[in-house]
A and B are shown apart, each in its own frame.
Chain A
Amino acid sequence: MSTGSNLERVLKSGVFAVTSECGPPRGADPEAVKKKGAFLKGYVDAVNVTDNQTSVVRMSSLSASLILKEMGFDPVMQMVCRDRNRIAIQSDILGAAALGISNLLCLSGDHQSFGDHPSAKNVFDIDSIQLIRTVKRMRDEGKFISGEEVKGRPDIFIGCAENPFADPFEIRAMRLAKKAAAGAQFVQTQCVFNVEKFGKWMEMVRDLGVHEKMYILAGITPLKSIGMARYMKTSVPGMDVPEEMIDRLKSASEGKAADEGIRICVELIEKVRAIKGVAGIHIMAIEWEQKVRDIVEAAGLYPRPAINRL
């Protein structure tokens, strides 16, 4: 069975997939979403819409997903368990499906202590794996968590995230296997900088046969500056930026660190692409969406297959 997802269609066709990300604005202006979207147009198979990422209040992922859908994108609506209980979660799944949003990325969500409302009460009624299972059950069995019947099943391609660089390392592939067993059909990983470690994780993933149960998209983030690289290395939990990468940025000539960052990024794409079981990349160009097209072109991933409009 297939959904209306363009991403699903591309992955099933065996084409190396490219997705990227659009973080909604901290305001009600739809133009801000359209502006970011315009940078990505034609260069991605689907675009993730983050859900109040890092626990900072932003336009809802559902609304921004719809704006992007109307622009001709295939949105991947992100949904975190931090802010909604099972009633709101299932309601938003139905709402998204009703608006023709075909991809859902199921996440636990960053803890609210990182964001702009650290005194908020969190929800975490269910976790990301239980969310995956919930979507699958609603779609395939037509059942809510309560067991009640869903009248009009949501047609959703189910995604998840996993961080190969978090600890304990030895269970990271097993955890992905749990997500696959729960019903996840694709995964977008945390940003890969340490290819060697990612390769080891992929080996464990293959040993468990998970790459045959779901599509694996490696997370890719271009490093904009030495400062950003350092920040990612030291201040972002679960991020593994090798020192030699920072050295490369440092050795770039005056004002050329950003270009070097793009070069590193393209090399990373080539390296992860060569790893067996990697079905695509997910480019997270944080506040640097305008560079996505350069990266996609330089990596030889342009043009993209035409988007299937349903």
Chain B
Amino acid sequence: MIVANRKPFEEIMDMLKPYAKILLLGCNECVTVCSAGGAKEVSVLASEIRLSRAKDGIPVEVKEHTLERQCDPEYATEAKPLVDECDAVLSMACGCGVQSVAEAYRSKYVIPAVNTTFMGSSEEQGVWKERCQGCGNCILDRTLGICPVSRCAKSIFNGPCGGSQGGMCEIDKELPCAWQLIVDRLKEMDMMEKYLEIQPVKDWSTSRDGGPRKRIREDLRI
């Protein structure tokens, strides 16, 4: 899923400064699962904004609403009556949701309330970690289910580099070295001979480097 992180409150308040009527728009998908921008977080942030404005004596009206899926125009347009009434939309969805809303309401100022951080998974309650960079050319079979593109600080294909110490990465003592994990797995599966294969230069054109990507399923188009 997409993992996001709420922006610092001061930054949000600073962006909201010119506006009195705010629609705080959550999303029921990834940001709900990672507790960054679902109905619950919308309610908490709305209260914080009201309290802060009340303290400063600046009037504000915050409407709360959470869409099923902000990145889907079908749902994004659903909020029209609420959007029409507000001065600005404060979106708690990921960057995809923010853009869908901005596109659906061209005359409305849309403000992001979260920083979209990565594609990851939950390792334990309350902990999410990056697992995929969407490079468009998956090689997880060759690295036994551990992604060097997203999990190695240098995205190296023939690791580990010289900074792997005690299973951890040199940039962060709490970050496991992806290549240590790969080597451990190769050993567990008795496939160490695979380690000697030199991984060739990667074709990054399928990644963001090839420009913004799109996927079309002709059979699904109307």
Contact = CB atoms under 8 A, between A and B. Distances in A.
Nearest 8 Cβ contacts at the A-B interface: A163-B162, A237-B170, A127-B156, A129-B158, A237-B163, A166-B162, A124-B154, A111-B171
Given A168-B183, A178-B195, A238-B170, 15 more contacts: A86-B201, A111-B153, A114-B171, A124-B156, A125-B202, A126-B202, A127-B154, A127-B157, A130-B199, A166-B160, A166-B163, A167-B177, A174-B196, A190-B162, A237-B165
Q: How would you classify the secondary structure of chain B's contact residues: helix, strand, loop or mixed?
A: loop
Contacts of A111: 153-154, 163, 170-171
Contacts of A237: 162-163, 165, 170
A169 to B, nearest CB: 10
Interface of B: 153-167, 170-171, 177, 180, 183-184, 195-196, 198-202, 204
Contacts of A174: 195-196
A122 interface: yes
Given A125-B204, A127-B156, A178 B164 contact: no
A166 B159 contact: no
A109 B196 CA distance: 22
Given A86-B201, A125-B204, A167 B167 contact: yes
A162 B163 CA distance: 10
A161 interface: yes
Contacts of B204: 125
Given A111-B153, A145-B201, A127 B167 contact: no
B198 to A, nearest CB: 6
A134 interface: yes
B201 A238 contact: no
A133 B198 contact: yes
A259 B205 CA distance: 55
20 contacts: A109-B154, A110-B163, A111-B171, A122-B154, A125-B202, A126-B202, A128-B156, A130-B158, A163-B163, A166-B160, A166-B161, A166-B162, A167-B164, A168-B183, A171-B160, A174-B196, A177-B196, A178-B196, A178-B198, A237-B162
A256 B166 CA distance: 34
A82 interface: yes
B154 A166 contact: no
A264 interface: no
B148 to A, nearest CB: 9
B196 A166 contact: no
A127 B158 CA distance: 7
A178 B204 CA distance: 23
A107 B96 CA distance: 37
Nearest to B197: A178
Contact of A238 (B156, B163, B202): B163
Contacts of A109: 154
Contacts of A125: 201-202, 204
Contacts of A126: 201-202
Contacts of B153: 111, 113
Interface in A115-136: 122, 124-130, 133-134
A218 B214 CA distance: 50
A171 B195 contact: yes
B158 A168 contact: no
B154 A82 contact: yes
A188 to B, nearest CB: 12
Contacts of B202: 125-126
Contact of A167 (B158, B160, B195, B196): B160
Interface string A144-164: 010000000000000001110
Contacts of A134: 201
B208 to A, nearest CB: 12
Contacts of A114: 170-171
B195 A166 contact: no
B162 to A, nearest CB: 3
Central interface residue in B153, B160, B162, B198, by most chain A CB within 10 Å: B162
Contact of A113 (B171, B180, B198): B171
